[in-house]
Structure 1
Amino acid sequence: MGKSIKNIFTQGAISPAFIAESIAKHSAKTGIGAHSIFLGQVRADDVDGKTVAAIEYTSYQEMALEKMHKIREEIFNKYELTCMHIHHSLGSVLAGEICLFVFTSSKHRKAATEACNEVVERIKAELPVWGKELFEDATHQWKVNN
Protein backbone atom coordinates (compact mmCIF):
# COMPACT_ATOMS: atom_id res chain seq x y z
CA MET A 1 0.00 0.00 0.00
CA GLY A 2 1.43 3.30 -1.10
CA LYS A 3 -0.14 5.82 1.27
CA SER A 4 0.19 5.85 5.04
CA ILE A 5 -2.80 5.09 7.24
CA LYS A 6 -4.50 8.35 8.25
CA ASN A 7 -6.21 8.84 11.60
CA ILE A 8 -9.81 9.82 10.83
CA PHE A 9 -10.89 10.10 14.45
CA THR A 10 -11.56 13.35 16.31
CA GLN A 11 -12.38 13.50 20.02
CA GLY A 12 -15.83 15.06 20.43
CA ALA A 13 -17.79 17.07 17.88
CA ILE A 14 -16.32 18.35 14.62
CA SER A 15 -16.50 22.13 14.80
CA PRO A 16 -17.96 24.35 12.06
CA ALA A 17 -14.71 26.37 12.18
CA PHE A 18 -12.68 23.24 11.36
CA ILE A 19 -15.00 22.46 8.44
CA ALA A 20 -14.76 26.03 7.12
CA GLU A 21 -10.97 25.97 7.46
CA SER A 22 -10.79 22.68 5.55
CA ILE A 23 -12.81 24.17 2.68
CA ALA A 24 -10.78 27.39 2.65
CA LYS A 25 -7.47 25.47 2.36
CA HIS A 26 -8.60 24.16 -1.03
CA SER A 27 -8.95 27.56 -2.74
CA ALA A 28 -5.28 27.41 -3.77
CA LYS A 29 -5.84 24.07 -5.54
CA THR A 30 -7.07 25.57 -8.81
CA GLY A 31 -7.24 22.25 -10.67
CA ILE A 32 -10.24 21.30 -8.56
CA GLY A 33 -13.63 22.02 -10.14
CA ALA A 34 -15.91 20.35 -7.60
CA HIS A 35 -16.20 19.49 -3.94
CA SER A 36 -18.75 17.24 -2.35
CA ILE A 37 -19.30 17.42 1.39
CA PHE A 38 -21.31 15.24 3.70
CA LEU A 39 -21.95 16.35 7.27
CA GLY A 40 -23.47 13.86 9.68
CA GLN A 41 -25.28 15.53 12.57
CA VAL A 42 -26.57 13.95 15.78
CA ARG A 43 -30.38 14.03 15.84
CA ALA A 44 -32.49 14.56 18.96
CA ASP A 45 -34.55 11.49 18.05
CA ASP A 46 -37.55 10.42 20.07
CA VAL A 47 -37.03 6.75 21.02
CA ASP A 48 -39.86 5.16 22.99
CA GLY A 49 -40.84 8.54 24.42
CA LYS A 50 -37.26 9.51 25.39
CA THR A 51 -35.23 12.22 23.61
CA VAL A 52 -31.63 11.63 22.52
CA ALA A 53 -29.38 14.27 24.11
CA ALA A 54 -26.08 12.94 22.67
CA ILE A 55 -24.39 9.96 21.11
CA GLU A 56 -21.23 8.48 22.58
CA TYR A 57 -19.10 6.97 19.80
CA THR A 58 -16.62 4.17 20.36
CA SER A 59 -14.53 2.19 17.92
CA TYR A 60 -12.09 -0.66 17.51
CA GLN A 61 -9.67 1.98 16.25
CA GLU A 62 -6.85 -0.12 14.82
CA MET A 63 -9.26 -2.23 12.77
CA ALA A 64 -11.32 0.82 11.75
CA LEU A 65 -8.26 2.73 10.53
CA GLU A 66 -7.00 -0.25 8.52
CA LYS A 67 -10.46 -0.71 6.98
CA MET A 68 -10.76 3.02 6.22
CA HIS A 69 -7.35 2.94 4.54
CA LYS A 70 -8.56 0.09 2.31
CA ILE A 71 -11.77 1.98 1.50
CA ARG A 72 -9.76 5.15 0.67
CA GLU A 73 -7.50 3.21 -1.70
CA GLU A 74 -10.48 1.57 -3.43
CA ILE A 75 -12.28 4.92 -3.82
CA PHE A 76 -9.16 6.62 -5.22
CA ASN A 77 -8.79 3.75 -7.72
CA LYS A 78 -12.46 3.93 -8.75
CA TYR A 79 -12.91 7.73 -9.07
CA GLU A 80 -10.68 10.50 -10.41
CA LEU A 81 -10.33 12.40 -7.15
CA THR A 82 -7.92 15.18 -6.31
CA CYS A 83 -8.28 14.61 -2.56
CA MET A 84 -10.46 13.09 0.13
CA HIS A 85 -10.74 13.99 3.82
CA ILE A 86 -12.65 12.02 6.43
CA HIS A 87 -13.22 12.94 10.08
CA HIS A 88 -15.34 10.86 12.46
CA SER A 89 -16.08 11.72 16.08
CA LEU A 90 -15.27 9.56 19.07
CA GLY A 91 -16.64 10.24 22.52
CA SER A 92 -19.74 12.24 23.28
CA VAL A 93 -21.38 14.43 20.61
CA LEU A 94 -24.45 16.47 21.54
CA ALA A 95 -27.63 16.58 19.46
CA GLY A 96 -27.17 19.24 16.79
CA GLU A 97 -23.39 18.79 16.58
CA ILE A 98 -21.44 17.30 13.65
CA CYS A 99 -20.10 13.75 14.09
CA LEU A 100 -18.99 12.89 10.52
CA PHE A 101 -17.32 15.08 7.90
CA VAL A 102 -16.53 13.59 4.48
CA PHE A 103 -15.01 15.95 1.90
CA THR A 104 -14.10 14.82 -1.63
CA SER A 105 -12.65 16.95 -4.43
CA SER A 106 -12.13 16.35 -8.14
CA LYS A 107 -11.90 18.11 -11.49
CA HIS A 108 -15.58 17.37 -12.20
CA ARG A 109 -18.66 17.15 -9.92
CA LYS A 110 -19.76 13.61 -10.80
CA ALA A 111 -16.61 11.98 -9.39
CA ALA A 112 -16.67 14.13 -6.24
CA THR A 113 -20.37 13.49 -5.59
CA GLU A 114 -20.37 9.75 -6.29
CA ALA A 115 -17.17 9.16 -4.31
CA CYS A 116 -18.50 11.11 -1.32
CA ASN A 117 -21.76 9.15 -1.30
CA GLU A 118 -19.96 5.81 -1.57
CA VAL A 119 -17.51 6.68 1.22
CA VAL A 120 -20.36 7.62 3.58
CA GLU A 121 -22.27 4.41 2.82
CA ARG A 122 -19.17 2.28 3.30
CA ILE A 123 -18.26 3.98 6.59
CA LYS A 124 -21.75 3.23 7.94
CA ALA A 125 -21.70 -0.37 6.68
CA GLU A 126 -18.09 -1.45 7.20
CA LEU A 127 -16.32 0.47 9.97
CA PRO A 128 -16.33 -0.92 13.51
CA VAL A 129 -17.75 2.26 15.05
CA TRP A 130 -20.63 2.13 17.51
CA GLY A 131 -22.88 4.78 18.97
CA LYS A 132 -24.57 4.71 22.36
CA GLU A 133 -27.62 6.98 22.51
CA LEU A 134 -27.58 9.04 25.69
CA PHE A 135 -31.06 10.20 26.62
CA GLU A 136 -32.11 13.37 28.42
CA ASP A 137 -33.26 11.23 31.39
CA ALA A 138 -29.66 9.91 31.82
CA THR A 139 -30.49 6.42 30.46
CA HIS A 140 -28.79 5.00 27.37
CA GLN A 141 -28.95 2.29 24.71
CA TRP A 142 -26.85 1.19 21.74
CA LYS A 143 -27.87 2.95 18.53
CA VAL A 144 -29.22 1.04 15.54
CA ASN A 145 -27.82 2.45 12.26
CA ASN A 146 -30.32 3.48 9.61
Structure 2
Amino acid sequence: MEKERTPKNIFVQGPISPEKIAQSVANHQSKTDIGGHSIFLGQVRKDQKENGTVVAIEYTAYEEMALQKAFEIREDIFAKYPLTCMHIYHSLGRVEVGQLCLFVFTSSKHRRAAMDACDELVERIKAELPVWGKELLDTDEHVWKVNQ
Protein backbone atom coordinates (compact mmCIF):
# COMPACT_ATOMS: atom_id res chain seq x y z
CA MET A 1 0.00 0.00 0.00
CA GLU A 2 1.47 3.36 -1.05
CA LYS A 3 2.03 5.90 1.69
CA GLU A 4 -0.03 9.06 1.26
CA ARG A 5 2.12 12.13 0.68
CA THR A 6 1.60 15.11 2.95
CA PRO A 7 3.00 18.66 2.81
CA LYS A 8 6.56 18.92 4.14
CA ASN A 9 8.04 21.98 5.77
CA ILE A 10 10.36 23.45 3.16
CA PHE A 11 11.37 26.48 5.23
CA VAL A 12 14.70 27.05 6.94
CA GLN A 13 15.26 29.99 9.29
CA GLY A 14 18.09 32.10 7.88
CA PRO A 15 20.56 30.96 5.24
CA ILE A 16 20.91 27.39 4.01
CA SER A 17 24.27 26.10 5.17
CA PRO A 18 26.77 24.33 2.92
CA GLU A 19 26.81 21.59 5.58
CA LYS A 20 23.06 20.98 5.04
CA ILE A 21 23.68 20.57 1.32
CA ALA A 22 26.65 18.24 1.85
CA GLN A 23 24.67 16.14 4.33
CA SER A 24 21.73 15.91 1.94
CA VAL A 25 24.02 14.64 -0.83
CA ALA A 26 25.70 12.19 1.56
CA ASN A 27 22.31 10.85 2.68
CA HIS A 28 21.66 9.64 -0.87
CA GLN A 29 24.74 7.39 -1.14
CA SER A 30 22.75 4.42 0.14
CA LYS A 31 20.06 4.87 -2.55
CA THR A 32 21.77 2.77 -5.20
CA ASP A 33 18.96 3.01 -7.78
CA ILE A 34 19.82 6.69 -8.34
CA GLY A 35 22.02 7.45 -11.35
CA GLY A 36 21.75 11.24 -11.45
CA HIS A 37 21.17 14.22 -9.21
CA SER A 38 20.47 17.81 -10.15
CA ILE A 39 20.96 20.64 -7.69
CA PHE A 40 20.00 24.29 -7.87
CA LEU A 41 21.38 26.72 -5.31
CA GLY A 42 19.94 30.23 -5.12
CA GLN A 43 22.32 32.81 -3.64
CA VAL A 44 21.65 36.40 -2.58
CA ARG A 45 23.31 38.83 -5.01
CA LYS A 46 24.91 42.17 -4.18
CA ASP A 47 22.76 44.03 -6.72
CA GLN A 48 23.03 47.77 -7.24
CA LYS A 49 19.63 49.45 -6.87
CA GLU A 50 18.59 53.06 -7.44
CA ASN A 51 18.83 53.86 -3.70
CA GLY A 52 21.81 51.71 -2.71
CA THR A 53 23.43 48.28 -2.78
CA VAL A 54 21.74 45.10 -1.57
CA VAL A 55 23.34 43.78 1.64
CA ALA A 56 20.72 41.13 2.53
CA ILE A 57 17.21 39.89 1.78
CA GLU A 58 14.55 39.45 4.43
CA TYR A 59 12.27 36.60 3.30
CA THR A 60 8.68 36.28 4.49
CA ALA A 61 5.91 33.93 3.41
CA TYR A 62 2.29 33.10 3.87
CA GLU A 63 3.57 29.80 5.27
CA GLU A 64 0.40 27.69 5.29
CA MET A 65 -0.42 28.65 1.71
CA ALA A 66 3.20 28.31 0.59
CA LEU A 67 3.50 24.81 2.05
CA GLN A 68 0.30 23.72 0.33
CA LYS A 69 1.45 25.23 -2.99
CA ALA A 70 4.88 23.59 -2.65
CA PHE A 71 3.12 20.27 -2.03
CA GLU A 72 1.00 20.72 -5.18
CA ILE A 73 4.08 21.60 -7.25
CA ARG A 74 5.95 18.56 -5.85
CA GLU A 75 3.04 16.27 -6.73
CA ASP A 76 2.88 17.68 -10.28
CA ILE A 77 6.62 17.21 -10.79
CA PHE A 78 6.57 13.67 -9.34
CA ALA A 79 3.70 12.82 -11.72
CA LYS A 80 5.55 14.24 -14.73
CA TYR A 81 9.09 12.88 -14.18
CA PRO A 82 10.38 9.48 -13.00
CA LEU A 83 12.08 10.81 -9.88
CA THR A 84 13.45 8.89 -6.95
CA CYS A 85 13.75 11.89 -4.61
CA MET A 86 12.96 15.60 -4.51
CA HIS A 87 13.90 18.12 -1.84
CA ILE A 88 13.08 21.82 -1.55
CA TYR A 89 14.48 24.17 1.09
CA HIS A 90 13.72 27.91 1.11
CA SER A 91 14.99 30.47 3.58
CA LEU A 92 12.83 32.66 5.78
CA GLY A 93 14.25 35.62 7.65
CA ARG A 94 17.45 37.48 6.90
CA VAL A 95 19.95 36.08 4.40
CA GLU A 96 23.13 38.05 3.75
CA VAL A 97 24.71 38.68 0.34
CA GLY A 98 26.64 35.58 -0.73
CA GLN A 99 24.58 33.21 1.41
CA LEU A 100 22.21 30.57 0.05
CA CYS A 101 18.43 31.08 0.16
CA LEU A 102 17.10 28.25 -2.04
CA PHE A 103 18.20 24.62 -2.35
CA VAL A 104 16.40 22.34 -4.81
CA PHE A 105 17.64 18.75 -5.19
CA THR A 106 16.17 16.15 -7.55
CA SER A 107 17.29 12.55 -8.10
CA SER A 108 16.37 9.91 -10.64
CA LYS A 109 17.64 6.77 -12.31
CA HIS A 110 18.89 8.84 -15.27
CA ARG A 111 20.30 12.40 -15.36
CA ARG A 112 17.88 13.97 -17.88
CA ALA A 113 14.81 13.48 -15.69
CA ALA A 114 16.65 14.90 -12.66
CA MET A 115 17.86 17.95 -14.61
CA ASP A 116 14.55 18.70 -16.33
CA ALA A 117 12.57 18.25 -13.12
CA CYS A 118 14.95 20.49 -11.16
CA ASP A 119 14.71 23.25 -13.77
CA GLU A 120 10.90 23.14 -13.87
CA LEU A 121 10.70 22.95 -10.10
CA VAL A 122 12.81 26.09 -9.64
CA GLU A 123 10.79 28.02 -12.22
CA ARG A 124 7.50 27.05 -10.58
CA ILE A 125 8.76 27.89 -7.09
CA LYS A 126 9.82 31.35 -8.25
CA ALA A 127 6.54 31.95 -10.09
CA GLU A 128 3.96 30.37 -7.76
CA LEU A 129 5.14 30.26 -4.15
CA PRO A 130 3.81 33.06 -1.90
CA VAL A 131 7.28 34.03 -0.63
CA TRP A 132 8.46 37.63 -0.64
CA GLY A 133 11.92 39.10 -0.41
CA LYS A 134 12.60 42.55 0.97
CA GLU A 135 16.00 43.61 -0.34
CA LEU A 136 17.81 45.49 2.42
CA LEU A 137 20.13 48.21 1.15
CA ASP A 138 23.32 49.69 2.56
CA THR A 139 21.46 53.02 2.87
CA ASP A 140 19.00 51.59 5.46
CA GLU A 141 16.30 51.63 2.78
CA HIS A 142 14.66 48.60 1.17
CA VAL A 143 12.94 47.52 -2.04
CA TRP A 144 10.72 44.52 -2.67
CA LYS A 145 12.39 41.87 -4.79
CA VAL A 146 10.93 40.95 -8.16
CA ASN A 147 11.53 37.30 -9.13
CA GLN A 148 13.25 36.85 -12.48
TM-score, normalising length from structure 1? 0.98
Structure 2 CA distance, aligned partners of 1:63 and 1:37? Answer: 25
- Identity, in percent, stands at 66
Per the TM alignment, residue 7 of structure 1 is displaced from its structure 2 partner at its CA by 0.3
Unaligned runs of at least 5 residues, structure 2: none
Q: Deviations over 1:7-31 (max 9, x none)?
A: 0000000000110010011111111
**SS state of the match for residue 28, structure 2?**
helix
RMSD: 1.1
CA contact (8 A) 2:59 2:93 kept: yes
Aligned ranges for residues 35-54 of structure 1 at < 5 Å? 35-48=37-50, 50-54=52-56
Per the TM alignment, residue 136 of structure 1 is displaced from its structure 2 partner at its CA by 1.2
1:75 aligns with 2:77: yes
Which range moves more in the overlay, 33-42 or 46-55? 46-55
CA contact (8 A) 2:55 2:97 kept: yes
Q: Deviations over 1:85-121 (max 9, x none)?
A: 0000000000000000000000000100000000000
Amino acid paired to 1:12: G
1:120 aligned partner:
122
Structure 1 CA distance, aligned partners of 2:25 and 2:102? Answer: 15
Structure 1 CA distance, aligned partners of 2:59 and 2:53? Answer: 17
TM-score, normalising length from structure 2? 0.96
Structure 2 CA distance, aligned partners of 1:76 and 1:42? Answer: 28
Q: Deviations over 1:9-54 (max 9, x none)?
A: 0000000011001001111111100000000000000011511000
CA contact (8 A) 2:51 2:141 kept: no
**SS state of the match for residue 55, structure 2?**
strand
Per the TM alignment, residue 145 of structure 1 is displaced from its structure 2 partner at its CA by 1.4
Structure 2 CA distance, aligned partners of 1:144 and 1:68? Answer: 19
1:110 aligned partner:
112
Per the TM alignment, residue 2 of structure 1 is displaced from its structure 2 partner at its CA by 2.4
Per the TM alignment, residue 75 of structure 1 is displaced from its structure 2 partner at its CA by 0.4
Match of 1:22 among 9, 21, 24: 24
Amino acid paired to 2:24: S
CA contact (8 A) 2:88 2:103 kept: yes
1:95 aligned partner:
97
Equivalenced residues, count: 146
Structure 1 CA distance, aligned partners of 2:143 and 2:53? Answer: 12
